[in-house]
Amino acid sequence: MSKNLKIGLFGFGVVGQGLLDIIQSQNLNLEIIKIAIKDPRKKRTLDKDLFTTDRDEILNNTEINTIVELINDAEAAYEIVTTALKNGKNVVSANKKMIATHLAELVALQQEHGTSLLYEGAVCGSIPIIRNLEEYYDNELFHALSGIFNGSSNYILSKIFNEDQSYNSALKEAQDLGFAETDPILDVGGYDPKYKLAIATAHAYGLFVNPDAILNIGIQNLSQHDIKYAKEKNLKIKLVPTARKVNTKQIVTYVLPKLVGKDDFLYNVENEYNAVTVQAAFADKQFFFGKGAGGHPTGAAVLSDIAALRYDYRYEYKKYHQEIGVQHTENILLEIYLRYADEDLISLLEFDHISERYAASEFKYVIGTVKLENLIKNRDLLLNKDVFVAYTGRQIYKEEKALSGTFAAEEALL
């Protein structure tokens, strides 16, 4: 039998209104008691008595048993969510930065207070990837997770490669449509997909990775030279987060632009759509596709979590609690395309091997393998305006044999 949920909603922006639209279109055993907003002067179609600017009016309301948090401010979201969990209220959140940054603490709070925090809407919009990682892949030998996790950057890249728009023109169009913020760096700089990747990695491998430890390089420095190179090779560029097990105990994670060919599932994922590719030992390769932005797609994911709470659903974090001892590593080689201006950068990155090199008066590039740790070490230099990095999909793990002093190499194509 389902519970009657009495909801306190924080945030009434695009996703909040989308959620309300969906709720009103169905006969569900739930009721929104109060909505917290920032600006009480803004005109709204609902009864003004439904709104409040005092968060404690919701958090301390004993009638409310479920909190839905849909605000942009990660710090404020953290205070709301932790207070609610401590007060015995279940929570649904879509704040990927807050969840990724505090996940270990949030899991502990749920255990301590017997509450549940669900966040399907925080990762890839309408794609139910968290629930699938929790339920379908919970006993799988999980190999890899990658995809397109950010609709804003994917929209921009789609316009560039399919309609020959400039980066600035595509960005402005994305902003006008509400896909990208006035300051779009969280999206185009790879921060948003980094937070989502950290959350997905926790459910895929039982490994809680601090987002600060994940390399993120975005598409903000993309130039006509890079676009021309990709098109000449019949490739597209996508911003792709990746998590991969490189041996039984080590997981590697990074967010980089990727050169994708027509044989890659991601090649035809366009506009604001997201996609997730997973690879496991027995299920093999599977592909999830859906809208990653917009009020209704994300609202649908939020509603799915709310509906699950009616039946006391909670994430079990089985792989995390198994304590199998997986660790985060930077011990791999990635093959990259690097456009650069200063030759010193080539020396600093200490390429393991360079397979292609081009130099002209307009621009220079190399194709070669480089250690992930060297990319991380020199990240600030890679963000210079005259530098662009893209991953080719080739990854090599080298393990030193303790007795012989030799190396065993394992290559993966993602």
Q: Are 109 and 85 in contact (CB under 8 A)?
A: yes
The answer for 21, left when phi > 0, alpha when psi is -120 to 50, beta otherwise, is alpha
pLDDT value of residue 200: 97
Percent of the chain with pLDDT over 90: 76
Nearest CA among 306, 307, 308, 314 for reference residue 67: 306
Q: 161-165, 176-180, 294-298 — which one is most confidently predicted on average?
A: 161-165
Q: Tokens 């919970």 sit at which residue? A: 138
| Token couple for 203 | 């459910």
pLDDT digit string, tens, across residues 289-333: 998 777 888 899 999 999 999 999 999 999 998 877 899 999 999
Spelled out in words, what is the top-level CATH class assigned to the domain 5-118?
A: alpha beta
Q: What's the average model confidence in pLDDT over 57-85? A: 96
- Contact indicator for 95, 69 with CB cutoff of 8 Å: yes
- CATH T-level fold of 133-294+326-413: Dihydrodipicolinate Reductase; domain 2 (3.30.360)
- Mean predicted confidence (pLDDT) in 62-74: 95
Residue 238, CA atoms < 13 Å, CB-side half-sphere: 30
Q: What is the pLDDT of residue 225?
A: 97
Our answer to whether residue 258 is catalytic in this structure is no
Q: Which of left, alpha, beta for 173 (phi over 0: left; psi -120 to 50: alpha)?
A: alpha
**Which of 21-35, 110-124, 146-160 has the lowest average pLDDT?**
21-35
Label residue 274 by pLDDT band (50, 70, 90). very high
pLDDT band at 343 (very low <50, low <70, confident <90, very high): very high
Q: Where exactly are the structural domains of the chain? A: 5-118, 133-294+326-413
Give the tens place of pLDDT for each residue, 111-142: 999 999 999 999 998 899 999 999 998 877 89
The one catalytic residue in 89, 96, 196, 236 is: 196
Residue pLDDT, tens place only, 358-414: 999 889 999 999 999 999 999 999 999 999 999 999 988 766 444 334 334 555 655
Query: What pLDDT was estimated at residue 182?
Result: 78
Contact criterion met (CB below 8 Å) for 391 and 376: no
The per-residue pLDDT for 414 is: 56
As beta bridge partners, residue 369 has 335, 353
The answer to whether the CB of 110 falls within 8 A of the CB of 274 is no
> What average pLDDT does this structure show over 41-49?
85
